[in-house]
């Protein structure tokens, strides 16, 4: 609720913020203002005293920073100034430490590729981001990326390369999730809302036919009784029992143990 007198507190509401059109500066309280420009754009301004001097600190445009986020930022800066710190210097240091999307993507890839057994997938993961996301997002800091930015990256391939576009969307989301976990950004992942701005894709390709788990024992019995080659039958049964990938089963080698009395085993 808005306060009374010369020092309002939380005087603005989200509805008012969206409705304000007349150029000017509108106080929310405790030095926080919404500035409406003659062009119609809106931005947040915090006026506080830093180390004995009055400072005006921009907190970002309304399109990127909500009323609640502006209040949160203003509170953090006021506390820092009250304790003798310099919010502007702190912000400069923070900005220098926040990676760009391109830098974050490379770091996420480096951290995760060791856990991916499929080298082709690991290579494709970063290649698709370099090709389709980095030209649009690469130079932007991860804390500055919003849904419209993601939309601009996906729109050119959304209908022409639908499967690739879905993978790129998922991978952009992974990078931004990592950025939030690492403390480089806050709020929702902008990928979550991007579907509302994209056209509906055509029907997806059908998946390969699959057996119900209840039918598997009968199938395995028939497989063992078939006249297929022994290696093929055993490899197929091994795949079923282990849920390994087809490429992994095809790459299996029989490793002979040197210890007497041991017959060896499979090795990837």
Calculated CA dihedral for residues 185, 156, 128, 196, nearest 10 degrees: 40
Cβ(7)–Cβ(29) under 8 Å? Answer: yes
Q: What is the mean pLDDT of the chain?
A: 85
> CA-CA distance, 89 to 25, in Å (whole number)?
25
Domain with CATH 1.10.150.130 in the chain: 101-197
pLDDT band at 95 (very low <50, low <70, confident <90, very high): low
Written as one string, the DSSP assignment of 13-78 is -HHHHHH--SSEEEEEETTEEEEEPTTS-EEEEEEEEETTEEEEEEEEETTTS-HHHHHHHHHHHH
The answer to which of 46-55, 173-182, 192-201, 238-247 has the lowest mean pLDDT is 238-247
Domain with CATH 3.30.160.390 in the chain: 14-96
What's the mean pLDDT in 193-210? 78
The answer to which of 78-82, 106-110, 214-218 has the lowest mean pLDDT is 214-218
As a CATH number, domain 101-197 is 1.10.150.130
As a CATH number, domain 14-96 is 3.30.160.390
pLDDT band at 70 (very low <50, low <70, confident <90, very high): very high
């Amino acid at each position: 609720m808005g306060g009374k007198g010369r020092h309002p507190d939380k005087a603005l509401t989200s509805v008012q913020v969206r409705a304000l059109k007349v150029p000017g500066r509108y106080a929310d309280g405790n030095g926080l203002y919404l500035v409406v420009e003659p062009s119609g754009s809106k931005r947040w301004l915090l006026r506080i005293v830093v180390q004995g001097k009055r400072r005006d600190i921009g907190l970002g445009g309304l399109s990127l920073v909500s009323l609640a986020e502006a209040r949160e930022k203003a509170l953090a800066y006021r506390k820092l100034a009250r304790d003798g710190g310099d919010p502007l210097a702190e912000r400069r240091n923070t900005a220098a430490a926040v990676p760009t999307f391109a830098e974050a993507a490379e770091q996420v890839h480096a951290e995760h590729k060791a856990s991916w057994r499929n080298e082709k997938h690991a290579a494709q993961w970063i290649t698709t981001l370099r090709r389709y996301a980095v030209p649009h997002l690469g130079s932007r800091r991860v804390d500055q990326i919003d849904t419209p930015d993601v939309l601009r990256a996906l729109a050119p391939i959304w209908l022409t390369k639908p499967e690739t576009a879905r993978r790129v969307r998922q991978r952009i989301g992974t990078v931004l999730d990592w950025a939030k976990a690492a403390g480089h950004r806050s709020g929702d992942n902008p990928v979550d809302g991007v579907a509302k701005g994209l056209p509906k894709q055509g029907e997806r390709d059908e998946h390969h036919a699959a057996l119900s788990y209840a039918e598997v024992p009968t199938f395995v019995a028939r497989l063992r009784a078939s006249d297929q080659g022994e290696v093929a039958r055993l490899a197929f049964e091994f795949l079923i029992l282990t849920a390994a990938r087809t490429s992994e089963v095809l790459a299996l080698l029989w490793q002979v143990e040197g210890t007497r009395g041991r017959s060896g085993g499979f090795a990837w």
